[in-house]
Amino acid sequence: MRGAGTTRNARGSGSVVRRILLGSHLRRLRETRGITREAAGYSIRASESRISRMELGRVSFKTRDVEDLLTLYGISDEGERAAIVNLAREASTDGWWHSYSDVLPTWFATYIGLEGAASLIRAYETHYVHGLLQTEAYAAALIRQGMKGASVADIERRVAVRLERQKCLVAENAPNLHIVLDEAALRRSYGDRSVMRGQLQHLIEISERPNVRLQIMPFSSGGHPGAPGAFTILSFPEAELADVVYIEQLTSALYLDKSEDAAQYAEAYRELQQDSPSPDASRDLLHGLLQLS
């Protein structure tokens, strides 16, 4: 199974990618044999929708189910079976974020796993600084404002998740992070003056990292391709994995992985980068905002 040994594994984030890879592989085996999802589900005492979720990588895999499906699909070579079953075991490993499941919605937990496994993260943000670039104080102020009435403990745990996510930027095999921030995200205050000054200073410092490309879309640019709203494009080192476009909503999120969707967002992002000042000019803009704050 191509790519089984090359998955990025940032403290368990690879388990999400492994589920997607394994699900895609099982789907190809089923379709090659002309077996319906209903028949596959029957063989493991499950519904057709369960098979669909397995093939999309949205649920964990039981070793027995994978073994039964491989038998149904005519996979008898012991070496091939062992490799696929081992991948299923690895795909069931909990990521670090599972210990925060009490404060994380399930749809966002999926994103964390994909983010941690990505080799390239491209994002456009409109209302606030991207989570991977937030300071602890800024994150706490943002969460307090968005979750009025939340307990101090819940806020602290949500901030802790954000800080854990940021560790991927300084890890071995850290991803390349390309961010375009709308100027509105920097003009909108969260917390007091010192919080915003600290956030601006942090952006200046982190923008100098070799794996970070930060650009600011100024108000003076007028209309641009990012007008519909914020989005993130995640790209992976595994050739089998298509880019995933993540669009967060108030109570859920969209994950778009069709090639035509990803291509449109990639083109929009390319135009955003092209229309924004260079990273050096954007850093100068940050310095100017810092002096005014």
Q: Is the pLDDT of residue 5 over 60?
A: no
- In this prediction, residue 115 has a pLDDT band, given cuts at 50, 70 and 90, of very high
- In this prediction, residue 6 has a pLDDT band, given cuts at 50, 70 and 90, of very low
Residue burial 220-256, b: 16+ Cβ < 10 Å; e: rest: eeeebbbeeebbbbbbbbbeebbbbbbeeeeeeeeeb
Q: Any idea of the CA torsion for 128, 131, 135, 140, to the nearest 10 degrees?
A: 80
Domains by residue range for the chain, with CATH: 14-91 (1.10.260.40), 103-292 (3.30.870)
168-192: pLDDT as tens digits: 999 888 999 999 999 999 999 999 9
- In this prediction, residue 223 has a pLDDT band, given cuts at 50, 70 and 90, of low
- Nearest CA among 83, 51, 47, 81 for reference residue 67: 81
Q: Is the pLDDT of residue 4 over 90?
A: no
Distances in whole angstroms, Cα of residue 89 to Cα of each of 8, 19, 85, 112: 16, 10, 6, 20
Question: How far is Cα 190 from Cα 31, in angstroms, rounded to an integer?
Answer: 51
Q: Is the pLDDT of residue 225 over 80?
A: no
Q: Is the pLDDT of residue 32 over 80?
A: yes
124-176: pLDDT as tens digits: 999 999 999 999 999 999 999 988 888 999 999 999 999 999 999 998 889 99
Check residue 27 and report its DSSP letter.
H
Which residues share a beta bridge with 67?
none
> What is the structure's pLDDT at 216?
97
- In this prediction, residue 9 has a pLDDT band, given cuts at 50, 70 and 90, of very low
> What is the structure's pLDDT at 217?
94
Report, as an integer, the average pLDDT of 93-122: 89
Question: How far is Cα 8 from Cα 5, in angstroms, rounded to an integer?
Answer: 9
219-223 long-range contacts, CB within 8 A, separation 24+ = 219/183, 219/184, 221/275, 221/276
55-92: pLDDT as tens digits: 988 888 999 999 999 999 999 999 999 999 988 888 87
240-265: pLDDT as tens digits: 788 999 999 888 999 998 899 999 99
Q: In what order do the strands lie in the sheet with 231-235?
A: 212-217, 176-182, 120-125, 231-235, 244-248, 253-256
Q: Which of 30-39, 104-113, 129-138, 150-159 has the lowest mean pLDDT?
A: 104-113
Whether the Cβ atoms of residue 80 and residue 66 lie closer than 8 Å to each other: no
More confident residue, 134 or 12: 134
> What is the structure's pLDDT at 245?
95
